[in-house]
Every structure is written in structure tokens, then in C-alpha cells.
Structure 1
């Protein structure tokens, strides 16, 4: 009996050790809200590591709620598409003191680039206080899309103009990315709103995009507009709120209200359904929406047009040192 008891104690100790080393069963991974681009790219990333839905427990949370889960230990890894640096990650570090950022392998990046519009990006060491080495990841662009049935040419012109010329009054860290130099990032392959095209060409830019056809009529313009953003814990919601405030300040006769949503995919679908006027989105699902691919298979978005670039969207994967997770490879 004594020998059996000793074996049991040894096995228990071994299980505790495995758990402390990142083993011990499926990990809880926050992959972003359903109907969001975060959710789509998270699944693509995990697929690149040979991980299917049965290999982990998915939490479909916005990054704010996911960060809370990482902080209290209920979520092991959170995947987000965020501005750089992300205030929510800095806040998580301030609360826990042991945030660890996971990079992507060359093989995983190759898989992602082959199967999406995302491209490799290096997050330089020191971008965050806790970051002691370069992190390899992928990036896309956050852009603004407009409903061509409600945003007339003159309003599209004013929206694009304000994004560039009043960005200095926007206190959000990502607002510095809204420059004339960056204005057409993420626009490739998308129809551009004729008002935005006119503004950019007046500023000396060459705009090769197909021009969207509008049904919106300035003489019948409504006064209340809806801007779809993302979750409150992410970048879209606070940045979109400041953008809306500046539009309301500088564009006469309109009131634009930012609303919390599931972000990219939901915003594009809601524009398609005529229930949203403006939507923030990653350029990748915008291309899919136009082509009727991915989440938009058989239900393409025909009434959305590019207004302007907002900021680079960087995939950032975080855990805590206490999880002992060194890389996504260790989850196999």
C-alpha cells in the first residue's frame, strides 16, 4: 500500500509539473468575436500550427474582455488585431507585470501569406516595456468604408478631408497614422468613394482605383449617421469615437455616432444590409466582401466604398509568463 501511495504522489507531482510547463490539456484561447476579422485570422494562425478546433477551447471575446480573462487566468492566450503599441496590452502588463508576446514562425507566416492578404511584420524589441526581443508577426490595414447609398459625394469628400486635416486634434495614439502619405494604404483592389478620390487627387495623389457608383443624393441627405467600430477594449471603438467627434465638429449638418460592434465582418455585413453608414474594417475582409469570398460567400457587399486608411493592424498574441507557454508550437 505504501508503494502504491508513493506512486500516486509521484504521478500527482508529475501532473502538476506538466501543468506548470504549459501542458495538462487544451488551452483556453481568445480568438475574437464571432463575425470578426480577428476570429478569421486567429483560426488561420492556429491552422498554420496544425491546430484544429478540437485542439483548444475557443473564447470568442473582444480584446478587452479577453485581456481581463488573461489577467485573471481564465484565458491562456489572446489573439488580437490591434494598433502598435496597443494600450490594452500596456494596461494588461501594468496589471499583471508578466505579459509575454508570442511570435509566429517562418513556416506559419508563409502559410498565412499564402492563404490571406496579411504580410510579415517585425515588432521591434522595446515596443513594449516587457518586450526584450523582436517579434515576428503579420499585419494588414484598418480602413474606413462607406455605404454608397447614404454617403453622397460631398460628404465622402468631407469625411476624407477631415480624417487627414484634423488628425492632429485626435488624441488617440493611432491617429498619427492618418496622413496623406498613408491615405491609400489598404485601398488596392477596392472601389473608392468618388468624394474621397476627388479630395486625394486635389492633394496631388494618384488614385488608380475603380470609382464606386453612388445612389446617395446630397439633396436628400439625412442628419444622423452610424459608424460601426469594434469592442470597447480594442482600438476601433475609442479611435472611432474621436473620429466621429471631429467629423461632427467640422462637417455641418451631420451627427455621426460611433457604436460598439463585432468589428470588421459585422460592420461590412451591416453596411450591406443598409443598417450602417460607415464602418471600420481590416482591408482583408473588405476585399473578401467585395469578391463574395470567406464570410461573404454568396452574399457579397456591393454598396461599400473606400474612404481612407486609418492605421496598420498588427496581429499581436499575448499570454503571461506564469502559463509557461513559449510558443504556439508547444500547443500541439
Structure 2
């Protein structure tokens, strides 16, 4: 049975997976704040490797405190999900000079894919200055969804087209992932907007998603894009997306607003107070299915428009730690 990942993706950019060196036999692992999504991800990783709670000492820390602990040598491991590249990893490398990314095993990735909505992801060599080889890990996907009661077919087409054909005008680092090659990542289990489907098929992509049914849409000129917190990735990236749409779509104005991210954006679309939303693909799946945070109340007016960027689990160790893999914790 697949795990509901709604709670796994709230505040995804709050932490990261870091490792240092502990003088104790059990590594100190910061698994994220109590009841956080980071803790859900941590447990999924432990389960994949068969790592029991007797193999490590738990610290319920957020990224900031965990990073301080790694620098001080008091915390060996901390867990989280970030965009690629991560400024936090780059900062750690700048201060320590001995950062190394760790790969997940094929067996662990197979387990995670079978028990969650995460997918295999390769961090290409050179993504960071210190990274010499590809790193195998897992990812969630940030996607753009639209309200089928307010986004008509032509507008859905133009939104998808501009996301890809003018991605080079978006200066945010994560915009590099807005390519046709990635366009349908994270769309699994989601109905696709008919305008977006038409655009992708014109570009030669095969679209197997069910097509969303549009409502009786009235003409409007003002559109709201729900993003995330100003300190995260969604808000500045969404602002650049809105700027590009405003540049090329005459007579229509798009405003990005700060929100609580995925869940709030999906609920706002349901309530017809939002036209477009950025969300992780897993809670969007839950919204469509009526599971997880949306148990018993599926959202019928949300449709996939396009992939934005991967939100990647990145496992980092310092060379001095001698930790080669999570499998070391099972020895």
C-alpha cells in the first residue's frame, strides 16, 4: 500500500540531509521537528534500509539547528528535501571544504518507489563544484495546477507554452528544469488541463493522463497564483513565472501571492479563491483521489498544467565522517 505523502511535502525546503562525524558508536540523526514532513521522510529512508531505532540517536531539529550541530560535530546526520542545487549545501561546502553527496542503493530506491510517490532521480555530476560523479537518490516534483472553473483551454495552452518557450527569461535557478523533457514529470495520477495537453502533443509528447473537464468559464482579466512562503523557493520562482505571463499575455494580469504552499493552494483552488497553484505532486494526487489531507473530500476542479522542478532528497556527508552509505548504519 502506498503511503499518503500530503504531510511529507509541507515545508519541504526547511531541512537537508547532512552528516558529520560522531565520537559515539551510534550516530546522532536530526530527523526534523516533531510531527514534521521531514520526520516522515526520515522514517521512509530508515525503513528502506532496515535501520531500527536502536541504531541511532534522534534529534528533533530543523535545518538551522541541525547545521549548527553538524558544524560543531554534535549531530552526524540530518534529513530533508531541497531544490537542486541547494544553497545550503554550497554554504556547508564553503565553510567545511569536505562535503560529499551519498547515493541511495537500487534496493532502497525500489522499496521507496513501491511504498510512496517518490521517484528515482539522478543528481548529475557537476551539479555542485565538489561533485565528481552522478548520485542516485529520489525526488518529489513541484508542479503547476490550474482551476478548471477559471482557466479556459486557450489560457491553459498559453500558460504551458510560455513556461517552456520563455524559460530562459526566468532567472531563478530552478527554472532550468522547465524543459519539454521534464514537462510531464509529476503528472502521474492527475487530470491534465486540455489546453496544456494540446500544447504538449503539438511538441510531440505522448500524454496519457485523463483530460480535465472545464466548467462554464466566464471571461476575466485578473488571476491569482498561489506560491509559498517568501523565504522558500515557490514565492520568488512563482513571481518570475507571473512576470513572464504578464509580459506576453495582453489584457490579463497574474499576481503571485504568499501562501502556506501545496495544501493551502489546493484548498484555495477548490474554494475558487485561486486560479493557479504551485504544489508538490503527491498532495495534488491526494486531492484528486480524496485521500490523505483530503480524505473523503476529493477536489474536482484541479488540473495539471506543467512540471516546475524536482524537490530532491540530498544526502550529504563530510569526508572526515567515514560514512559511505546509510547501509553503514545497519552494520
> TM-score w.r.t. structure 2 length?
0.75
Q: Counterpart in 2 of 1:154?
A: 154
Contact 1:22 1:323 survives alignment (8 Å)? no
Q: Please, which moves more after superposition, 246-255 or 200-209?
A: 200-209
Q: Counterpart in 2 of 1:90?
A: 90
Q: Measured at CA, do residues 143 and 327 of structure 1 come closer, stay the same or move farther in structure 2, by a change above 3 Å?
A: same
Q: Counterpart in 2 of 1:272?
A: 270
Q: Which structure is larger by alpha-carbon Rg, 1 or 2?
A: 1
Q: Counterpart in 2 of 1:163?
A: 163
Contact 2:103 2:315 survives alignment (8 Å)? yes
State the distance in 1 between where 2:248 and 2:45 align: 41
SS at match of 1:20: coil
Number of residue pairs aligned between Structure 1 and Structure 2: 307
State the distance in 2 between where 1:188 and 1:295 align: 18
Whether 2:59 is the aligned partner of 1:57: answer: yes
Q: How does 1:203-214 map to 2 (within 5 A)?
A: 203-214=203-214
Q: Measured at CA, do residues 20 and 70 of structure 1 come closer, stay the same or move farther in structure 2, by a change above 3 Å?
A: closer
State the distance in 2 between where 1:305 and 1:185 align: 14
Q: Counterpart in 1 of 2:326?
A: 328
Structure 1 residue corresponding to 2:32, chosen from 14, 30, 33: 30
Q: Counterpart in 1 of 2:120?
A: 120
Q: Counterpart in 1 of 2:7?
A: none
Contact 1:226 1:258 survives alignment (8 Å)? yes
Whether 2:228 is the aligned partner of 1:226: answer: no
Q: Counterpart in 2 of 1:256?
A: 255
Contact 1:26 1:56 survives alignment (8 Å)? yes
State the distance in 1 between where 2:311 and 2:112 align: 15
| Deviations 1:280-330, CA, capped at 9 Å, x for gaps | 233333223322333433333322100012233332123545666554345
Q: How does 1:130-149 map to 2 (within 5 A)?
A: 130-149=130-149
Contact 2:184 2:307 survives alignment (8 Å)? yes
State the distance in 2 between where 1:230 and 1:51 align: 34
State the distance in 2 between where 1:72 and 1:216 align: 59
Query: In angstroms, what is the RMSD of aligned CA positions?
Result: 3.5
State the distance in 2 between where 1:119 and 1:191 align: 19
> TM-score w.r.t. structure 1 length?
0.75
Structure 2: stretches of 5+ with no match in the other structure: 1-20
Contact 1:64 1:232 survives alignment (8 Å)? no
State the distance in 1 between where 2:308 and 2:184 align: 9
State the distance in 2 between where 1:240 and 1:68 align: 30
Q: CA deviation at 1:166?
A: 1.3
Q: Please, which moves more after superposition, 46-55 or 150-159?
A: 46-55
Contact 1:101 1:131 survives alignment (8 Å)? yes
Q: Measured at CA, do residues 244 and 322 of structure 1 come closer, stay the same or move farther in structure 2, by a change above 3 Å?
A: farther
Q: Measured at CA, do residues 183 and 123 of structure 1 come closer, stay the same or move farther in structure 2, by a change above 3 Å?
A: closer
SS at match of 2:314: strand
State the distance in 2 between where 1:309 and 1:144 align: 6
